[in-house]
Structure 1
Amino acid sequence: MDGVDPATGADREHAITLPGRGRTVVWDSPGPPGAPTLILLHGVALNAELNWSGVIPALRRHYRVLTLDLPGHGRGIAGSAPFRLEDCADDIAALATDLGVARLIPVGYSMGGLVAQLLWHRHPGLTAGLVLCSTARDVSGSAWERSTALMLPGIVAVAAWIPVLHVLGADVVGAQLLDGGTDPITRRWALAQMRRTRLLEALTAAQAACRFTSHEWIGSVDVPTAVVITRCDRVVSPDRQRILADAVPGRVVHEIDGGHGVFLTAPDRFASVLLRACASVSHADRPPADAAARSAS
């Protein structure tokens, strides 16, 4: 994600300062002339490179693709308490204005899917469609999820007072997001990427995710929406993903056999399904006919 040559179609890097928020970096893959614009939003403890580098080459053949690290993660805006998903959505709207983007399609994975929902809710005129991957309308339904939500504020408060925890990376908790099928080399690379985010920042982001709910308004979504369900997910259960899908009018469902780390364990298969999902909410050229539409094995 460090390319800088627009003539070759490589990513352009924009360093942008948002008033009152701070500096962030956006990577821009131009795509075909006039193509719809996607913005890719990663999950907690991840960063844009880790979550999306396996699919960007396929996506940018059809779309302009923007990626960024969310606040407190990687090269995103420096973390500040409290972490608010609403701020993430507002940052994206400000970035779109800075880049001259009038309409875009947020593609959100896990926590990024919560931010994508909020972008539509807070900035409906900017949001042309939604692609929601491995995410839910809330993550506090099961007993385990509720207990985690109750414990996190105390864990964050204690962590803030323990200096050694300030230098630990998010891989301490992020390793739990990786599926058993990740090969050793990829796993080492993924953990190194997670260490670019501090543990405390990942915990505060997880706390914000646990507080999120869209159940009162998600049924009002009025833009084309695709929901990508990871059938073997142990982090965001497939049942909760289907509850989200059932709540969105006119949504199109795309399923893939894989867990929460399918973007690492099967990037080509994930890219194929994601292409279909993006095509179902946009007017971009259709991806190859052999890409899976509703399911992939």
Structure 2
Amino acid sequence: MSVVIDTVAGKATKFFPVKPADHLPQGRMIDLPGRGGSTYVTDSAATGDSDPDAPAIILLHSVMTTGLMCWYATIPDLREHFRVITLDQRFHGRGITSGSFTLDDCADDTVAVADALGVDTFIAGGFSLGGGTAQVTWQRHPDRVDGLVLASTGPYFSGSRAVRADRVTRAVRAVTGRALSHIPPIKQSKLADTDISTGAWLFRQFRATRFDRLADISDGMADFDSRDWLGEIDVPTSVVVSTHDHTVSPKRQQILVDSIPQAHRFDVPAGHACCVLEPDLFAPEFTRAASDVAERVKSGPAQSRPA
């Protein structure tokens, strides 16, 4: 069955201009003391692909992807300038599985990864869900975050739990959950196999999401809302707006630009899945946005950081 799935997924890429998943960075499982488990981490300095003294950027992925799936097409551009680190967030890939899913936990996991790698401070870069995690990482650990690069994301993801509990929303979630539950799960050991087609590799990464916990992931995302404290963010921030986005509207993304002091906007004329499906548009602009943050960090913060 898995061979058939890999074959079909491999053929599907002819319809999408995805970047070949060759020369993927090698990672390892890292135990995160006090966090309830371990997660899969890649570090370009550990593999000799980046200067270990280069600014560190921790990349946080979108929902139903993994650290590598979301960022593999952008890492080659970034590692010329940064020490690039990825991790699998909770309920995704080889990440931690816990009783509930919260962005607070994901943020604390991010700092725990930095601790495990000996990284004092870092730029937090996030796509969609990862952009929310990046914001919360700054809020909970402002002394650790040098800057933010927020892509295809906003200050909230959906209505509150109360709004999402209405009859229509419950029905949509039930249908979606049943459909996704039919996707065969993947053994984590198969995620390390790169001797397969790009389409098969991407679908394996997708299948590593805990679809049986999708409701928990959705609830955790619904609980996120940074609008009350965006104006307190005092680190250099770039916002990468996917201008053709129908999942997180450009209007919602613009709230970050308008609310975060001295945020800089970078546009990608693409849809929400541009990090994977339109990498030629996304990767260069995200790298420009990250470099903009790094230059401002190097020049000194516009506002004083917490003691």
Shorter-normalised TM range: 0.7 to 0.9
**Range with greater deviation from structure 2 (128-137 or 198-207):** 198-207
- Matched ranges for 1:200-279 at <5 A: 200-279=212-291
Residue 17 of structure 1 corresponds to which residue in structure 2?
A: 32
Query: Are 1:73 and 1:202, in contact at CA under 8 Å, matched by a contact in 2?
Result: no
Residue 65 of structure 1 corresponds to which residue in structure 2?
A: 84
TM-superposed deviation, 1:24 = 1.2
Q: Please give the alpha-carbon distance, in whole angstroms, between the structure 1 residues aligned to 2:268 and 2:29.
A: 33
Residue 127 of structure 2 corresponds to which residue in structure 1?
A: 109
Q: Please give the alpha-carbon distance, in whole angstroms, between the structure 2 residues aligned to 1:170 and 1:223.
A: 40
Q: What is the aligned-residue RMSD (CA, Å)?
A: 3.4
Give the secondary structure class of the aligned counterpart of 1:235.
Answer: coil
**4+ residue runs over 6 A deviation:** 1-4, 155-159, 164-167
TM-superposed deviation, 1:156 = 11
| Structure with higher RCO (Cα < 8 A, 6+ apart) | 2
The residue type equivalent to 1:64 in the other structure is: R
Q: Please give the alpha-carbon distance, in whole angstroms, between the structure 2 residues aligned to 1:273 and 1:254.
A: 7
1:40 aligns with 2:52: no
The superposition leaves residues 115-164 of structure 1 with CA deviations (integer Å, 9 ceiling, x where unpaired) of 0000100000000000000000112369xx985465699679979x99x9
Query: Are 1:103 and 1:125, in contact at CA under 8 Å, matched by a contact in 2?
Result: yes
Residue 11 of structure 2 corresponds to which residue in structure 1?
A: none
Query: Are 1:156 and 1:203, in contact at CA under 8 Å, matched by a contact in 2?
Result: no
Query: Are 2:164 and 2:170, in contact at CA under 8 Å, matched by a contact in 1?
Result: no
- Matched ranges for 1:124-143 at <5 A: 124-140=142-158
The superposition leaves residues 222-268 of structure 1 with CA deviations (integer Å, 9 ceiling, x where unpaired) of 00000000000111111100112111010000001000111122212
Query: Are 1:16 and 1:26, in contact at CA under 8 Å, matched by a contact in 2?
Result: no
Residue among 97, 106, 112 paired with 1:94 = 112
**Range with greater deviation from structure 2 (189-198 or 41-50):** 189-198
TM-score (norm 2): 0.75
Query: Are 2:61 and 2:67, in contact at CA under 8 Å, matched by a contact in 1?
Result: yes
Q: Please give the alpha-carbon distance, in whole angstroms, between the structure 2 residues aligned to 1:207 and 1:130.
A: 24
- Matched ranges for 1:64-83 at <5 A: 64-77=83-96, 79-83=97-101
- Matched ranges for 1:103-182 at <5 A: 103-140=121-158, 148=164, 150=166, 168=183
The residue type equivalent to 2:61 in the other structure is: H
TM-superposed deviation, 1:200 = 2.3
1:264 to 1:20, Cα distance in 2 relative to 1, 3 A: closer
Q: Please give the alpha-carbon distance, in whole angstroms, between the structure 1 residues aligned to 2:68 and 2:168.
A: 27
Residue 43 of structure 2 corresponds to which residue in structure 1?
A: 28
Q: Please give the alpha-carbon distance, in whole angstroms, between the structure 1 residues aligned to 2:180 and 2:278.
A: 33
Q: Please give the alpha-carbon distance, in whole angstroms, between the structure 2 residues aligned to 1:19 and 1:167.
A: 34
Residue among 195, 201, 215 paired with 2:207 = 195
TM-superposed deviation, 1:202 = 3.4
Residue 193 of structure 2 corresponds to which residue in structure 1?
A: none
How many residues align structurally? Answer: 262
Give the secondary structure class of the aligned counterpart of 2:133.
Answer: helix
1:146 to 1:55, Cα distance in 2 relative to 1, 3 A: farther
Residue among 49, 54, 58 paired with 2:68 = 49
1:265 to 1:81, Cα distance in 2 relative to 1, 3 A: same
Query: Are 1:37 and 1:64, in contact at CA under 8 Å, matched by a contact in 2?
Result: yes
Q: Please give the alpha-carbon distance, in whole angstroms, between the structure 1 residues aligned to 2:64 and 2:185.
A: 6
Give the secondary structure class of the aligned counterpart of 1:283.
Answer: helix
Residue 18 of structure 2 corresponds to which residue in structure 1?
A: none
Query: Are 2:126 and 2:132, in contact at CA under 8 Å, matched by a contact in 1?
Result: yes
Query: Are 1:228 and 1:277, in contact at CA under 8 Å, matched by a contact in 2?
Result: yes
TM-score (norm 1): 0.78
1:226 to 1:146, Cα distance in 2 relative to 1, 3 A: farther
